Amino acid sequence: MKQFVSTLSSTISHKLPEGKFKEWLRSYFFKHSNPIYVLNKIISNIELENEILAITLHNGFKLYGRADKSIYPVMKYADQTKLGRISEYKYFGTFLLMISEQFEDDCYEKAHKLGTGETVIDIGANIGIFTVKAAKAVGETGKIVAIEPEESNLKLLKRNIEANNLNNVVIIPKGIWSEKTRLEFKLSSYTGEHSLYEINNTYQTTIEIETDTLDNILNELGIKKVDFIKMDIEGAEVEAIKGMNETLAKANLKIAGEHHIVNGKSTYDIIAKELGAKGFKVNKESVLFYANK
């Protein structure tokens, strides 16, 4: 059932054309199968601090996030009676959804259970929800490389790292691409959907960001061993893979990320072909792909 729900959500969001039927499906889905309904059982404290939502989980994690400029569908169409105390934070849908994905669904760790001493690359770190969780999991002997180009996200990424007393995270303020260059970066009304591609109709403005290859970044950092790569970069995953040939050659590497619809085509087909040629077994689940050697 959970796989069906996830696949339905993906179809609604990425494959159906905009219109009344899609809107009805979206509202029905998020009313009856909303992933943020579970949050009240894992949140111990929630409060608004100068337009930043501060959340403490029962497991001790402290997380800070900002509001979207539009009401995210998970909040817009939710059954308010099931939201409990989070119902008043209707503009924080992206932030709340990210917490649910990482601390309730463990979406990326389905590909690999993080272990002490590992090196993890977080491509598209956003505000650091996965970064913080991974940094705790790998411990002081491990290392997280958190890669995020957008300034507002970077500020909260740093704040979340500091709030959880983490000393094993390196932040790289860039986008990941197939070459070192500068590119236009589209900012969405939803804080988790900024992109180098125009993959939906939520973009409001454009900035210029610095990009680089993952191989270049890891060489500059002197990192030789990589255990796990998490990648969520809104359609740029194909170009990113082109710039990590050295990294992909490493033994026992696991990858988990999102695939997207770009120019009407799923990036998964290209990802599966490219990684398969390099010795990876690749599979997908809804909007996620998993790869391992």
CATH number at residue 174: 3.40.50.150
Confidence check: pLDDT of 17 > 80: no
C-alpha–C-alpha distance, residues 195 and 143, integer Å: 26
* Residues 160 and 252 both lie in one domain: yes
Residue 215's Cβ-count burial label (10 Å; 0-12, 13-18, 19+) is middle
Confidence of residue 287 (pLDDT cuts 50, 70, 90): confident
* Residues 122 and 55 both lie in one domain: no
**Given 54, 89, 104, which residue is the final one in a domain?**
104
Interhelix angle 20-32/2-14, nearest 10 degrees? 150
> If you compute the radius of gyration of the chain from its CA atoms, what whole number of angstroms results?
18
Confidence of residue 228 (pLDDT cuts 50, 70, 90): very high
* Residues 245 and 129 both lie in one domain: yes
Q: Are 193 and 202 in contact (CB under 8 A)?
A: yes
**Given 104, 128, 163, which residue is the final one in a domain?**
104
Longest dimension (CA), the chain: 52
Q: Please work out, in degrees rounded to the nearest 5, the angle formed at the alpha carbon of residue 110 by the alpha carbons of 104 and 114.
A: 90
The predicted model gives 101-127 an average pLDDT of 94
* Residues 123 and 229 both lie in one domain: yes
* Residues 9 and 147 both lie in one domain: no
Q: What is the pLDDT of residue 21?
A: 64
Tokens coding 87: 């119902």
Strands 203-212 and 181-188: antiparallel
User: How many domains, the chain?
Assistant: 3
Residue 70 lies in domain: 35-104
* Residues 253 and 193 both lie in one domain: yes
Which range, 1-10, 28-37, 93-102, has the best average confidence (pLDDT)?
Answer: 93-102
* Residues 254 and 129 both lie in one domain: yes
| Chain segment 145-201, per-residue pLDDT in tens | 999 999 999 999 999 999 999 999 999 999 999 999 999 999 999 998 898 887 777
Instruction: Please provide the DSSP assignment of 256-281 as one string.
Output: EEE--EETTEETHHHHHHHHHHTT-E
What's the chain's average pLDDT?
Answer: 91
Whole-prediction pTM value?
Answer: 0.91
Q: Are 211 and 174 in contact (CB under 8 A)?
A: yes
C-alpha–C-alpha distance, residues 146 and 84, integer Å: 33
